[in-house]
Amino acid sequence: MPHTTDTDGILRQNLVDAGCGPDIVRQCMALARKQDQSELMRILSCHRRTLLDALHQSEKQIDCLDYLVYQMEKKANKQSGGI
C-alpha cells in the first residue's frame, strides 16, 4: 500500500484497482510524469468506456439468462399443473 505522500504509488494503485492492464498503467504513469493531462484523461476515458461496454454486455447476458430461467420455470409449472 503506497504512503499517502507517494503520489506515483497512489496513482499506480488506483489504475490497477480500476482494472488497467500493465500497458495502460505504464502509459498513464509516463503521461502523469510529463504532466500531459489531456492525453491522460483521453486514455482514462477510453478505459472507462471499455469497462462500461463490458458491463453492458454482462447485463445483456444476465437478461438472457433470466429469460431462459423464466421460460423453463413457466414450462415446468405448466407440466406440473401449476398456474
Domain extent, residue 50, equals: 7-79
b/e code 10-48 from CB counts within 10 Å (16+ = b): ebbeebeeeebeeebbebbeebbeeeeeeebeebbeebe
Residue 46 falls within a domain, yes or no?
yes
Residue 3: what residue type?
H
| 19 inside domain | yes
Residue 75 has a pLDDT of: 93
Q: How many CA atoms lie within 13 A of 43 on its CB side?
A: 20
Residue entry with cell 430461467: 69
| Cβ 50 vs Cβ 40: under 8 Å | no
Does the residue 2 lie in any domain? no
Count how many domains the chain has.
Answer: 1
Span 25-77, pLDDT tens digits: 999 999 999 999 999 999 999 999 999 999 999 999 999 999 999 999 999 99
pTM given for the model: 0.78
